[in-house]
Amino acid sequence: MKFFIDTANLNEIKEAYDLGVLDGVTTNPSLMAKEGIAGKEKVIAHYKAICDIVDNNVSAEVIATDFEGIIREGKDLARIDDKIVVKVPMIKDGIKAIKKFTSEGIRTNCTLVFSSGQALLAAKAGASYVSPFIGRLDDISQDGLELIGQIRHIYDNYGYGTEVLAASIRHTMHLIKCAEIGADVATCPLKVIMDLLNHPLTDSGLAKFLADHKKANS
Ligand code: E4P
């Protein structure tokens, strides 16, 4: 399973990359706003800075919601770097735009996906990635992980090449369950990636090993 980090914060991206397990980055307009990135030039410079840190797969989201606007903006984003994946919302003009980007060899990530029907449309349009938001479904008492399983099943039935990118991940159990189900990618905050390191028996076991070593060598 690929690990993407879900942030626009350069320090967090560097920290995850330094761990050696990072395969990409997802951003969205809210995450960019959180970092105070506004205005076309700053946005482009920020995406360039992200692309300089990681090896591939930087999702950059369009703001336009009409076909021409999505195409124009997506092409501008794709021109920044080959690592850019154009993130397009799951709306009618978004699906049409994904189809066009795909025919022109521009990679896409279909975002704001909350049903298997939406995921089926994204795959048929040729999206490189589909992003079901599991945490936001859980927030309204729907089973986000169940959706990941449904999409996996449908894509496997027909051999769709679209990768299932589990998004809106809140904790390590989400991540682990996504791996069990067979999501191709999980995008999550830095904390969730780092929390995978933790187990109390690792801590107590290491403390005992070091104490025994010290006793034997003193
Ligand atoms: C995905 O690409 C989104 O940026 C993200 O996972 C949304 O997560 P949230 O529900 O925590 O905002």
pTM listed for this prediction: 0.96
Nearest atom, ligand 1, residue 136 CA: 10
Nearest atom, ligand 1, residue 187 CA: 6
Query: Does 187 contact ligand 1 (Cβ within 6 A)?
Result: yes
| 21, 33, 137, 166, 207 from 133: Cα distances, Å | 22, 20, 7, 7, 39
Q: Which of 34, 48, 75, 87 does the annotation list as catalytic?
A: 87
Q: What is the pLDDT of residue 162?
A: 98
Q: CA angle, corner 206, sides to 200 and 207, nearest 5?
A: 90
Ligand 1 centroid to Cα of residue 133, in Å, is: 7
Query: Does 129 contact ligand 1 (Cβ within 6 A)?
Result: no
Question: What percent of the chain is modeled with pLDDT above 70?
Answer: 100
Residue 87 binned pLDDT confidence (cut-offs 50, 70, 90): very high
Query: Does 6 contact ligand 1 (Cβ within 6 A)?
Result: yes
**Mean pLDDT of the region 121-125:** 98
Q: What is the pLDDT of residue 102?
A: 98
Residue 209 binned pLDDT confidence (cut-offs 50, 70, 90): very high
Q: CA–CA separation, 1 vs 128, rounded Å?
A: 15
Residue recorded with tokens 């690929």 = 2
Ligand 1 centroid to Cα of residue 213, in Å, is: 45
Q: What is the pLDDT of residue 74?
A: 98
Closest by alpha carbon to 2, among 54, 60, 46? 54
Give 141: exposed, middle or buried? Use CB within 10 Å, 0-12, 13-18, 19+: exposed
87 flagged as catalytic: yes
